[in-house]
C-alpha cells in the first residue's frame, strides 16, 4: 500500500520562521507540500474517506482593511498506533510570527475509548494551565457504555467543575435508563439540573417513553413533561408526543411527525401544537429535506404555519451542491422575505476536495445586503494521510446495522446483525456532509449493541461509517436539537 507522507505543520511564512526560529527545527522541516513542493503520492482509488486521517489544517481570515487574507492559525494532529488522536497543537499568528498557542492532549482506555481531553496554553516558555482552559473526562462501564461525561474549567490554579452528564443502563439489556445533567451555577459546585428517565424500550432499544424532570428547591426531582415515541421497522422515529402533567392526568403539548423516502432518509418533520381552547392540533412548523441520487442532502427548507391564510410560509433554506463525484462544493443559507417574496442570501460555504474525496479547502462568506455582494470571512485548508490498507474493504448492506433512535438528540444505539459481525471490536467514524471526520469511537459491544454519543455536535445530518476489520456499513444519522 502506498502511504501519504504529508507535512504536519502549516506555516505560510517559511523564510520568516527560519530566520526567527520560533519553533523547533524538527517542526520547521515539516512544511506543507505547497511550500516544500513535495509531490505526495495518492492512495489506491478504492480507499474510502475514513481511511484517511487529517494531520494538519491551515486557516486564514479576511482582513477588510488590507483587502487580503491574513494568517489565523495552524493545527497539527498526532495519533497513536491504534489511530487514536492523542494530541493537537495549535499555532497562532501574532501579525509577524507563528507562535505556540493551545495544546490538547487526549487519552484512551484499553478499548480505545477516549477518557480525557485536556487543554494547555503556551506562556512563551512552557505549557501551562491557564484560566479558561477546558478539560473533559469520560468513564465507561464493563459493556463499553459511557457512564460519565464531565466538563471542567481551569480557574484560580485548579480544575473546577462546569457540568456533568451521568448515564445509567439496564444491566441485562444495556438500554439507557437514566441521564442526569448537573451544572455549576458557580464554577466548582455542581448541582442537579435535569434528568431524563427511560422506563421502557422497544425490541431495538429505542426509548418508548421519556420522563423529563427538573431539580426543584435543591431537594427533589419534579416531572416537567414526558415524551411518547414510535418507530418504524428500520428503527427510525416516526412520531413524538410531548405531554405535561396535570395531577394524575397528562395534557398534550406538541407532537412531531417524521416521514421518510424510499431510501429510509428523513424527508419531512412536522410539528403541531395542542390548542386547549379549540381542543385541536394546530400546525406550527415543518422541515422538508431533499436528496440527490447518491442520497446526499440537496435542500433543507424550514417553514412556519400562517393561521391567517392557512398556508405554509417559508423561513430559511439551505441549499447543497455537489460535483460529479458527489463531493460537496457549495452550501448556501438564505432567508425568505415574505413582503418582497424573495430569498435573501445569508451566508455560504465554498468547498473543494482532493482526488480521494477528502475535503481540501473550505471558505465561508457572509452576505453584505447594502453592498449586494459576498464578503469573505474565513478559509481553511486540510491535509490528510492514509493510515490503513483498504483494498479488501467490503461494503455491507445498511440493514446489517440499525441506528436508533434516528433522528435523535445525539445519543444513538447501533445494533449489529451477529450473523454478519461475528467479531467483538467495532470502530465507528462520524463525518459531516463535507466528508470531514469529526469523531471516532471504538469498543467491544455487549449484547450486539454499541452506544454512540454525538451530543456535542450541532443539529444536522451526518455520515456514520461502522467497521469491523474489513467489513463496513455506511449509515446516515440526523441530530435534531
Cell triple for 152: 471542567
Task: Tell which wins on pLDDT, 173 or 19.
Answer: 173
> Distance from CA of residue 142 to its chain's centroid?
26
* Non-local CB neighbours of 405 within 8 Å, separated by 6+ positions: 206, 207, 229, 231, 235, 236, 237, 412
Find residue 104's DSSP bridge partners.
88, 119
pLDDT score at 389 = 52
Helix (H, G, I), strand (E, B) or coil at 444: coil
Burial class (CB in 10 A: 0-12, 13-18, 19+), 416: buried
Report residue 177's pLDDT band, with 50, 70 and 90 as the boundaries.
very high
Q: Are 79 and 86 a contacting pair, CB within 8 Å?
A: yes
Report the pLDDT averaged over residues 313-322.
96
Q: What is the pLDDT of residues 23-66, one digit of tens each?
A: 333 333 333 333 222 222 233 333 344 578 889 999 999 999 99
Report d(CA 133, CA 303) in Å as an integer: 40
pLDDT score at 44 = 30
Q: What is the pLDDT of residues 392-411, one digit of tens each?
A: 677 887 778 888 788 887 88
pLDDT score at 388 = 64
Q: Average the pLDDT over each of 172-181, 358-367, 403-412 and give the range with the smallest value.
A: 403-412
DSSP letters, 238-302, are: EEEEEEEEETTEEEEEEEEEEEE-TTS-EEEEEEEEEETTTTEEEEEEEEEEEE-TTS-EEEEEE
Q: Taking the CA of residue 380 as centre, how many other CA atoms within 13 Å lie in the half-sphere pointing to its CB?
A: 13
Report d(CA 62, CA 70) in Å as an integer: 6
pLDDT score at 392 = 64
Q: What is the pTM of this model?
A: 0.79
Is the Cα dihedral 213, 215, 221, 222 positive or negative? negative
Report d(CA 52, CA 44) in Å as an integer: 12
> Is the model's pLDDT at 351 over the cut of 80?
yes
* Non-local CB neighbours of 437 within 8 Å, separated by 6+ positions: 49, 50, 53, 54, 429, 430, 431
φ/ψ of 26, rounded to 5, equals -65, -25
Report the pLDDT averaged over residues 435-446.
68
Report d(CA 58, CA 133) in Å as an integer: 22
Helix (H, G, I), strand (E, B) or coil at 237: strand
Q: Average the pLDDT over each of 259-263, 297-301, 443-447, 470-474 and give the range with the smallest value.
A: 443-447
Task: Tell which wins on pLDDT, 7 or 305.
Answer: 305
Cell triple for 141: 462501564
Burial class (CB in 10 A: 0-12, 13-18, 19+), 234: middle
DSSP letters, 61-114, are: EEETTTTEEEEEEEEEEEE-TT--EEEEEEEEE-SS-EEEEEEEEEEE-TTS-E
Cell triple for 126: 512552557
Residue owning grid cell 499555532: 91
Q: Are 431 and 465 a contacting pair, CB within 8 Å?
A: yes
Q: Which fold has domain 391-481?
A: Immunoglobulin-like (2.60.40)
Q: Is 106 left (phi over 0), alpha (psi -120 to 50) or beta?
A: beta
Report d(CA 20, CA 33) in Å as an integer: 21
Report residue 456's pLDDT band, with 50, 70 and 90 as the boundaries.
confident
Report d(CA 269, CA 330) in Å as an integer: 24
Report d(CA 383, CA 360) in Å as an integer: 7
> Is the model's pLDDT at 310 over the cut of 60?
yes
Task: Tell which wins on pLDDT, 455 or 153.
Answer: 153
User: Closest Cα partner for 346 from 319, 380, 313?
Assistant: 319
Report d(CA 230, CA 236) in Å as an integer: 8
> Is the model's pLDDT at 12 over the cut of 90?
no
Q: Are 208 and 201 a contacting pair, CB within 8 Å?
A: yes
Q: What is the pLDDT of residues 99-121, one digit of tens each?
A: 999 999 999 998 888 999 999 99
Q: What is the pLDDT of residues 57-109, one digit of tens each?
A: 999 999 999 999 999 999 999 998 888 899 999 999 888 888 999 999 999 99
> Is the model's pLDDT at 379 over the cut of 60?
yes
> Is the model's pLDDT at 332 over the cut of 80?
yes
φ/ψ of 20, rounded to 5, equals -90, -20
pLDDT score at 434 = 66
Taking the CA atoms of the chain, what radius of gyration do you get in angstroms?
24
pLDDT score at 418 = 74
Residue spans of the domains in the chain: they are: 1-124+345-386, 391-481
Amino acid at each position: 500500500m502506498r502511504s501519504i507522507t504529508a507535512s504536519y505543520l502549516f506555516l505560510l511564512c517559511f523564510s520568516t520562521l527560519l530566520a526567527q526560529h520560533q519553533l523547533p527545527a524538527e517542526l520547521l522541516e515539516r512544511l506543507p507540500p505547497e511550500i516544500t513542493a513535495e509531490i505526495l503520492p495518492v492512495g489506491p482509488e478504492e480507499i474510502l474517506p475514513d481511511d484517511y486521517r487529517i494531520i494538519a489544517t491551515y486557516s486564514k481570515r479576511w482582513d477588510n482593511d488590507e483587502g487580503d487574507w491574513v494568517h489565523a492559525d495552524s493545527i497539527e494532529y498526532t495519533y497513536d498506533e491504534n489511530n487514536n488522536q492523542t494530541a493537537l497543537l495549535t499555532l497562532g499568528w501574532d501579525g509577524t510570527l507563528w507562535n505556540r498557542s493551545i495544546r490538547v492532549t487526549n487519552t484512551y482506555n484499553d478499548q480505545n475509548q477516549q477518557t480525557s481531553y485536556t487543554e494547555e496554553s503556551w506562556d512563551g516558555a512552557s505549557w501551562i494551565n491557564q484560566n479558561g482552559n477546558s478539560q473533559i473526562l469520560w468513564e465507561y462501564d464493563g459493556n463499553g457504555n459511557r457512564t460519565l461525561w464531565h466538563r471542567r474549567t481551569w480557574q484560580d490554579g485548579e480544575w473546577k467543575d462546569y457540568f456533568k452528564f451521568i448515564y445509567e443502563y439496564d444491566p441485562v439489556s444495556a438500554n439507557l435508563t437514566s441521564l442526569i445533567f448537573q451544572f455549576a451555577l458557580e464554577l466548582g459546585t455542581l448541582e442537579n439540573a435535569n434528568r431524563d428517565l427511560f422506563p421502557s424500550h422497544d425490541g431495538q432499544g429505542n426509548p418508548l417513553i421519556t420522563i423529563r424532570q427538573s431539580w426543584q428547591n435543591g431537594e427533589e426531582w419534579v416531572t416537567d413533561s414526558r415524551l411518547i415515541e414510535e418507530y418504524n421497522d428500520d428503527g427510525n422515529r416516526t412520531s413524538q408526543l410531548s405531554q405535561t402533567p396535570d395531577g394524575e392526568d397528562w395534557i398534550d403539548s406538541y407532537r412531531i411527525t417524521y416521514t421518510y423516502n424510499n431510501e429510509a432518509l428523513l424527508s419531512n418533520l412536522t410539528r403541531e401544537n395542542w390548542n386547549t381552547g379549540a381542543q385541536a392540533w394546530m400546525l406550527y412548523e415543518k422541515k422538508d429535506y431533499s436528496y440527490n441520487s447518491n442520497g446526499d442532502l440537496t435542500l433543507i427548507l424550514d417553514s412556519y404555519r400562517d393561521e391567517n391564510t392557512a398556508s405554509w410560509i417559508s423561513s430559511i433554506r439551505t441549499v447543497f451542491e455537489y460535483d460529479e463525484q458527489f463531493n460537496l462544493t457549495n452550501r448556501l443559507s438564505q432567508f425568505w422575505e415574505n413582503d418582497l417574496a424573495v430569498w435573501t442570501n445569508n451566508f455560504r460555504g465554498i468547498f473543494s476536495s482532493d482526488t480521494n474525496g477528502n475535503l481540501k479547502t473550505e471558505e465561508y462568506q457572509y452576505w453584505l445586503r447594502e453592498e449586494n455582494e459576498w464578503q469573505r470571512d474565513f478559509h481553511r485548508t486540510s491535509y490528510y494521510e492514509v493510515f490503513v490498507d483498504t483494498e479488501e474493504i467490503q461494503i455491507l448492506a445498511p440493514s446489517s446495522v440499525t441506528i436508533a433512535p434516528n433522528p435523535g438528540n445525539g445519543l444513538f444505539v447501533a445494533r449489529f446483525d451477529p450473523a454478519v459481525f461475528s467479531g467483538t471490536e467495532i470502530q465507528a467514524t462520524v463525518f459531516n456532509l463535507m466528508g470531514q471526520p469529526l469523531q471516532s469511537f471504538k469498543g467491544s459491544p455487549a449484547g450486539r449493541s454499541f452506544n454512540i454519543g454525538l451530543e456535542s455536535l450541532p443539529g444536522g445530518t451526518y455520515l456514520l461509517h461502522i467497521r469491523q476489520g474489513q467489513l463496513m456499513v455506511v449509515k446516515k444519522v440526523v441530530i435534531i436539537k
